[in-house]
Amino acid sequence: MSAPGVSIAGGGSIAVDTLAMQAAARRLDALADRLAPLRGRIEGCLADPDWSGLPAARDAVAEAADRARSVAAELAEATAGLRTAADRYGAVEHAIAAAQQAAWAGGAALAGAVTRIGSTLAGPGFVLVAMTAGGILLGAAALGTTARELVTTGRIDPQVDPAVLADLRRALSSSDDLVRGFSLTERPTDVARNDPDSPYGTAGTAAALAGLLPAGDRSIALAPSVLPGTVSGPGSLTELGERTPEVEPGGTQLRIERYPMPGGRSRWIVYLCGTITFSLAAGPEPFDLRSDVVGVGGRPSDSERALVAGMREAGVGRDEPVLLVGHSQGALDAVRLAQRGRFDVRGVVTLGGPTGQLVVPGHVPELSVEHDEDVVPVLGGLAATGAAGLHRVVVRRSLYGGGPPPGPLLVPFGAGAQPHALTAYRETLALAAGSPDPRIVAFERDVRPFLTASDGRIVLVRADRWVRPPGGRPGAAAGAR
C-alpha cells in the first residue's frame, strides 16, 4: 500500500499520486507471479499424450491456456503502462504547473500595466481605485475562505488551509510581475520564468528587506563538542530525519558526522536545525528570523556563516564529500551552501525549507519534503520550473488528507503536531523512505555511500554571534566574518 497523502514530485510529477500507481504496479506483478505457475501447469497438462479421444475436453483446456496467456500479456502491458505513466504523467503536470505559473505572472503583469496606464490617463487617483478594487477582491476571497473553514472545520485556520497556501504561493511568486507590469518593464521571459533573482523577485525583495534590518556585523563563536565513541551511518533516509537537531534555544544547531574514507580523507554528513528565535536584531542566536530574511535575499546569513565556520572547525576539507540535511532555516542554509560551491556537496535533503525557487547545481541531488499545510515552503514561492524543477525531487504530503486538522493548533510555531514541526517532517521522510518510486530509489542510490558509512565520529556545534567580546574568545573558534 502507498503512504496516504504522500506524493512524489520533481523529476516530472507535481500532484499525481505516483506512489499509489507504483503500488498498483506491484500488485499486478504479484498477480502475474500467481498466474505464471498455473499457466505452466495448464500447458504441461496439454502436453500429456493421453488426450486421444477426448477432443472436447482438450479444447477446453487449450482455451484455458490461451486465456491465461492473454491475461499474462495484458498484465505485463498494464504494469509497464502504469510505471511509464507514473514517470511521464508527472511531466505533463509539471508543464501544467509551469503554465499556471505563467498565467498568474501574466495576469499580475497585466494588472500592473493597466494600473499604470490608467493612472497616466486618469490621474494618480486611478492607482487608489485599482488598489481598492484589488482589496475588495482579496477581501471577498478571504471572507469566502474563512466562511468555508468555519463551516467545514468549526474553526478558522487559514494558515493551514492548503488552498489558501497554494494561492499565497502563487501570489508571492507573481508580485514581482505586478511591480514590473506597473513599471512597464515586464518581458515575455519574465512571464515564462519565475526567477527569484529577477528585478523585484523574492531574492531582491528579501535583500531590500535585509538592508532595512538593524546593523549587526558580528563574528560567529563556536562551541563544538565531540561525542565519545563511534557511530554507524544513518542507513536510511528515515534516520537522516531522526538525527536532525530539534530547535532548542541555546542548544545544538549543527550535528556533524565524520566518516573515514580510504586514503585518509573523510565523508561528512551535516545536519542543521531550523529557526530558533524570531528576532530581527542581531542577538546571540544566529538561527533567527534575521538570518531567514538575509538568506532568502541571497547573501550569506549568520546561520550560514555558522554552518561554514562549524564545518571548517570540524575539519571538512573543500574536496571532501558532504551530505547536507536541514530543517526550515537549516534547509535554506543547506541549499545556499550547495549553490555557492565552497564545499563538495554531494546531496541535499531539505525538510520544510523556503527553497522552492532556489536551484542547486545539476550534479547535486536534492530531495525536498514539503507539507501542503506548512506556510514556510510557501514563502519560497512556486517551485522552480523547467529543467531545474525536474531535477528537484519533492515529497509532498497533506498532513490531514485534505480535511481538518485533528485538533486546535494552539501550539508554538514549529512544535508538536504543527505542520512545520520537525517531528511531522521526520514522519513524512520515513514514509518516503519506504517508497519504490524510482526517483526516491535513485536519490537513495546517490547518497548510499553516506548512508552506509561506518566508524563515524559526531561533533555537536553550538554557534553564537559574538556580540561583545568579553576580553577573549567566547568559544573554541571564531571566524567566518
Partner 1 sequence: MLEPPSAAAVLAATVRALAAEADAVPLPEALLDGWASFAALDYQAAVARLTIGVLRVRAALHDAAAALEAIG
Query: Residues in the site for partner 1, rule: CB under 8 A?
Result: 2, 16-17, 20-21, 23-24, 27-28, 30-31, 34-35, 38, 41-42, 45, 48, 50-51, 54, 56-58, 60-61, 63-64, 67-68, 70-71, 74-75, 77-78, 81-82, 85, 89
Nearest to 444 by CA among 349, 339, 328: 349
Q: How far is the CB of 5 from partner 1 (least distance, A)?
A: 11
Rounded Cα distance, 283 and 58, in Å: 88
Rounded Cα distance, 359 and 354, in Å: 12
Q: How far is the CB of 397 from partner 1 (least distance, A)?
A: 15
Q: How far is the CB of 90 from partner 1 (least distance, A)?
A: 12
**56/410 with CB nearer partner 1:** 56
Q: How far is the CB of 257 from partner 1 (least distance, A)?
A: 39
Q: How far is the CB of 17 from partner 1 (least distance, A)?
A: 5
**81/361 with CB nearer partner 1:** 81
**54/138 with CB nearer partner 1:** 54
What lies within 8 Å, CB to CB, of 47 at 6+ separation is none
Q: How far is the CB of 404 from partner 1 (least distance, A)?
A: 21
Rounded Cα distance, 150 and 169, in Å: 22
Q: How far is the CB of 48 from partner 1 (least distance, A)?
A: 7
**82/359 with CB nearer partner 1:** 82
- How many Cβ atoms from other residues are within 10 Å of residue 249's Cβ? 8
Rounded Cα distance, 368 and 374, in Å: 13
**62/417 with CB nearer partner 1:** 62
Contact 15, 86 (CB under 8 A): no
- CA 329 → CA 13, 340, 350, 362, 376, distances in Å? 26, 17, 9, 22, 9
Contact 260, 225 (CB under 8 A): no
Q: How far is the CB of 402 from partner 1 (least distance, A)?
A: 13
**24/110 with CB nearer partner 1:** 24
Burial label, 159 (beta-carbon count in 10 A; 0-12, 13-18, 19+): middle
Q: How far is the CB of 45 from partner 1 (least distance, A)?
A: 6
Contacts 24+ apart (CB under 8 A), 116-124: 116/181, 116/182, 116/183, 116/184
**30/138 with CB nearer partner 1:** 30
Rounded Cα distance, 230 and 232, in Å: 7
Q: How far is the CB of 413 from partner 1 (least distance, A)?
A: 33
Q: How far is the CB of 393 from partner 1 (least distance, A)?
A: 20
**75/166 with CB nearer partner 1:** 75
Q: How far is the CB of 373 from partner 1 (least distance, A)?
A: 20
**7/275 with CB nearer partner 1:** 7
Q: How far is the CB of 33 from partner 1 (least distance, A)?
A: 10
Residue type, 204: G
